[in-house]
């Protein structure tokens, strides 16, 4: 290799490596994020972060906004890793402890009443599998708005995962996260919007607790309509005390599309449906709806109608 070409290759490699960085964030941070002593706000870090970057979050509470604007949420760029559970002294991510150092992304804004909380806490659109949320608590959204289908004002209170245009994909990974005490018209905890595209997020060791939907999908609403696909995977996850009219824990919408979630070693307890499907409700009109459940446990199911099975299927 000649010297000019070698110099170009080295320069490109150096630029690639330098493009990946760690941004340090704390609840009251106002610095540039270059260190714990100069920690940034989460909003600023998300605007600054690029694919390959890691965002380290110090323990504490991160409201979506400091005012009462319910439309504001945390928008996570593709390829970025959000890691919670730091005390603000760590030099390595392996030293953090999310269990003891709780890192909360919160929709609790405005007054004490729940009805003025943020509609949605976190939104991730068109993300690859290297987009990771690890060790976070996402809670206290109240998406009671009347916008169009899958709009943040009414869908995915805690987390909205979406494809923004036809044939795009959304495949982020959530590890050791808790999504709790969220409300929405559809998908109280999470709305997986794969309409006209493909949404296949992965959830590992996550807990969905005390989420509620005014209509469908207390914890999760998987939307594969418009010939799209919404087929997330869940491994070692817990669904506890979630409720909705249909699909107390999970609602799979596959009308003219696909919704084939896979659940392995998951635990369902005390989930409630006011109409049908305390655990899972499947709607597959002219579509494909084949959820796969492996080694899952179902306890203390609750439905207002007399149903023999935790899995209800609509036509």
pLDDT at 34 over 70: yes
Q: How many Å apart are CA 276 and CA 280, to the nearest integer? A: 9
pLDDT in tens, 42-69: 999 999 999 999 999 999 999 999 999 9
Q: Is residue 55 part of a domain?
A: no
Is 207 in contact with 178 (CB distance < 8 Å)?
Answer: yes
Q: Is residue 45 part of a domain?
A: no
Q: How many Å apart are CA 162 and CA 173, to the nearest integer? A: 13
Q: What percent of the chain has pLDDT over 90?
A: 84
pLDDT at 165 over 80: yes
Q: How many Å apart are CA 177 and CA 135, to the nearest integer? A: 5
pLDDT at 182 over 70: yes
Residue 118's CATH number: 2.160.20
**Burial tier of 299 (Cβ tally within 10 Å: 0-12, 13-18, 19+):** exposed
- 3-class state of residue 16 by DSSP: helix
Q: How many Å apart are CA 84 and CA 56, to the nearest integer? A: 6
Q: How many Å apart are CA 235 and CA 307, to the nearest integer? A: 27
pLDDT at 2 over 70: no
pLDDT in tens, 198-236: 999 999 999 999 999 999 999 999 999 999 999 999 999
pLDDT at 274 over 70: yes
Q: How many Å apart are CA 249 and CA 278, to the nearest integer? A: 7
Q: pLDDT tier at 263 (50, 70, 90 boundaries)?
A: very high
Q: Is residue 38 part of a domain?
A: no
Q: What is the DSSP string of 41-53?
A: PHHHHHHH--TT-
Which structure tokens are listed for 52? 């390959």
Q: How many Å apart are CA 24 and CA 88, to the nearest integer? A: 8
Q: Is residue 15 part of a domain?
A: no
Q: Is residue 133 part of a domain?
A: yes
Q: Is residue 44 part of a domain?
A: no
pLDDT in tens, 4-29: 554 544 444 444 444 579 999 999 99
pLDDT for position 300? 72
In terms of Cα–Cα distance, which of 307, 202, 157, 312 is closest to 247? 312
Strand 297-299, strand 207-209: pairing: unpaired
Give the single-character DSSP code of 1. -
Q: What is the DSSP string of 178-247?
A: EEES-EEEE-SSEEEE-TTSEE--EEES-EEES-EEEEE-SSEEEE-TTT-EE--EEES-EEES-EEEE-
Which structure tokens are listed for 236? 């070692």
* pTM for the structure as a whole: 0.90
Q: Is residue 41 part of a domain?
A: no
Q: pLDDT tier at 197 (50, 70, 90 boundaries)?
A: very high
Q: What are phi and psi of 169, to 5 degrees?
A: -125, 155
Q: What percent of the chain has pLDDT over 70?
A: 89
What's the rounded mean pLDDT across residues 282-287?
92
Number of domain units in the chain? 1
pLDDT in tens, 125-161: 999 999 999 999 999 999 999 889 999 999 999 999 9
Q: What is the rounded (10 degree) CA torsion for 223, 224, 228, 233?
A: 90
Q: Is residue 249 part of a domain?
A: yes
Q: How many Å apart are CA 23 and CA 309, to the nearest integer? A: 48
Residue 302 sits in which domain range?
A: 60-314
């Amino acid at each position: 290799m000649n010297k000019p070409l070698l110099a170009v290759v080295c320069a490109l490699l150096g630029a690639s490596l330098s493009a990946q960085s760690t941004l340090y964030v704390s609840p009251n941070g106002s610095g540039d994020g270059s260190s714990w002593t100069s920690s940034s706000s989460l909003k600023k870090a998300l605007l600054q972060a690029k694919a390959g970057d890691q965002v380290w979050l110090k323990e504490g509470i991160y409201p979506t906004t400091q005012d009462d604007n319910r439309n504001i949420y945390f928008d996570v760029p593709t390829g970025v890793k959000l890691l919670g559970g730091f005390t603000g002294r760590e030099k390595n991510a392996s030293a953090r402890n999310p269990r003891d150092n709780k890192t909360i992304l919160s929709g609790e804004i405005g007054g004490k009443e729940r009805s003025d909380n943020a509609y949605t806490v976190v939104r991730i659109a068109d993300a690859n599998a290297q987009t990771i949320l690890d060790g976070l608590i996402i809670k206290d959204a109240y998406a009671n708005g009347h916008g169009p289908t899958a709009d943040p004002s009414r869908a995915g209170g805690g987390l909205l995962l979406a494809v923004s245009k036809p044939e795009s994909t959304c495949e982020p990974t959530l590890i050791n996260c808790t999504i709790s005490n969220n409300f929405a018209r559809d998908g109280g905890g999470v709305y997986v919007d794969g309409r006209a595209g493909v949404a296949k997020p992965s959830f590992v060791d996550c807990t969905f607790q005390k989420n509620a939907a005014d209509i469908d999908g207390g914890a999760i609403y998987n939307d594969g309509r418009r010939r799209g696909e919404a087929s997330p995977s869940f491994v070692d996850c817990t669904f506890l005390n979630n409720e909705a009219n249909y699909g107390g824990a999970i609602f799979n919408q596959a009308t003219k599309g696909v919704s084939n979630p896979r659940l392995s070693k998951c635990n369902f307890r005390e989930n409630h449906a006011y109409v049908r499907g305390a655990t899972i409700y499947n709607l597959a009109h002219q579509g494909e709806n084949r959820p796969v459940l492996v080694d899952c446990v179902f306890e203390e199911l609750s439905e207002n109608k007399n149903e023999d099975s935790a899995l209800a299927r609509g036509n």
